[in-house]
Amino acid sequence: MSDTETLSSQDIIARAKQYVIGNYTRYPVALVRGEGSWVWDAEGNRYLDFFPGWGCGIIGHCPPRVVAAVQDQVATLIHVPNTWYTEPQTLLAEALSERTGWGGQSFFCNSGTEANEAAIKLARLNGKPKGKYKIVTMTNSFHGRTYGSLTATAQPKYHAGVEPMLPGFVYAPHGDLDAVAKLIDNETAAILLEPIQGEGGVNLPPNGYLEGLRELCDRHSMLLMLDEVQTGMGRTGKWFAHQHWNIVPDVITLAKAVAGGIALGAVIAKPEVAAKLVPGTHAATFGGNPVASVAALATIATFDEENLLERATQVGERFQAHFTALKAECPLIQEIRVKGAMIGLQLSVDGSPIVEACLKRGLLINCTHKTVIRLLPAVNIESQQIDDGCAILREVLLAHSV
């Protein structure tokens, strides 16, 4: 193929099937360009994207400040290893720390699963002097696909066929504080959970749950570690979702949206916990590289300059209003779960045909946990786009209700 060759969707799909390992279920569409909440396929068809980048496109496709920052950085310094200091990584760590409000220090990597691996190591390093190594996680959680994060992911379907899993994990039913308390013994080092479960179906924590977990951690000298890979970076209307509740975690993990679509993961830990990651204990060659770091700084600047935390809340309210009206006429909708631009529609039926029908009408959405329509729209999505997409979803859901 020459540099200028343009393939049709059909060609791209045929060649992908031959050369790319088939571990993903893909829709028969090849996307070539994106701008804000729009994406285009190889034939020039335009789609409205309510799920940009699987949660990574928090300020839409190709956000201008991120594009400019990356273009400038790749022409200046692409990569140096972490044996050197760089300004972008330092400024990013400072910006994230300021936004935690509890003096967090960062370790950088490239993805959510890597961030959780680092958090798991941190929990073990922190617990080691007291003989603590066990970690409690919650049913229907999702923490990633590498072995530590996968073991933390308390869903048997993801473990099937690749056992044995990593030792030292115990699972509690999500939302059940007493069940967590019963699992704790003097070897328990940490509790790890998503403040709002994403892949598990946009499950909000019950009242008092996160506060109760914090108390348990204090009482038993354990770390409270929050996986904010999906909920963090302004998604829910606060920089980090835990800031909606009256708790301070010991560790949070980030990825997805943090660099506006460029790969970057982070662990942010309280300084006294972070101190356990001494030289030799952990590393990531590409972690916090200059390109990803400037992309993250540009993402943060976009939030600040365009008041996007507030906008995330408004986006959630607009979706909530549409779906509340729709629930009254659509018996398929059992429950609406919204926190800012993180939206779940609990259906009484399999959501996959809904996703496919929306795709045919030019709307990209997601279905998770079989029966939950999940939307992670860009926080700078226009009100008109929300209205237009919700109109499509309404038509599709009503058509499937009969």
Ligand X SMILES: Cc1ncc(COP(=O)(O)O)c(C=O)c1O
Q: How far apart are CA 151 and CA 273, in angstroms?
A: 22
At a CB cut-off of 8 Å and minimum separation 6, what does 216 contact? 177, 180, 181, 184, 191, 222
Q: How far is the CB of 158 from ligand X (least distance, A)?
A: 11
Is 145 within any annotated ligand binding site? Answer: yes
Q: How far is the CB of 291 from ligand X (least distance, A)?
A: 17
Q: How far apart are CA 309 and CA 235, in angstroms?
A: 8
250 in contact with ligand X (CB under 6 A): no
Tally of CB atoms within 10 A around 121: 17
199 in contact with ligand X (CB under 6 A): yes
At a CB cut-off of 8 Å and minimum separation 6, what does 109 contact? 115, 117, 118, 264, 265, 266, 267, 284, 286, 287, 288
Phi/psi at 266 (5° precision): -150, 145
Strands, sheet with 363-364, edge to edge from the N-terminal-most edge strand: 31-35, 38-41, 46-49, 363-364
Number of residues that bind ligand X (CB under 6 A): 14
Distance of CA 91 to the CA centre of its chain: 22
Name the residue nearer to ligand X (CB basis): 49 or 194: 194
Name the residue nearer to ligand X (CB basis): 66 or 193: 193
Q: How far is the CB of 257 from ligand X (least distance, A)?
A: 11
Binding mask 156-195 for ligand X (x = CB under 6 A): --------------------------------------x-
Name the residue nearer to ligand X (CB basis): 6 or 352: 352
Which of 34, 88, 144, 148: binder of ligand X (CB under 6 A)?
144
Which of 109, 122, 150, 255: binder of ligand X (CB under 6 A)?
255
Is 51 within any annotated ligand binding site? Answer: no
Q: How far apart are CA 352 and CA 373, in angstroms?
A: 9
Tokens of 344: 């779940």
Chain position whose Cβ is nearest to ligand X = 112
Q: How far apart are CA 10 and CA 67, in angstroms?
A: 29
Binding mask 96-125 for ligand X (x = CB under 6 A): ---------------xxx--x---------
The annotation places the binding site for N(2)-acetyl-L-ornithine at: 145
Binding positions for ligand X, rule: CB under 6 A = 111-113, 116, 142-144, 194, 198-199, 227, 229-230, 255
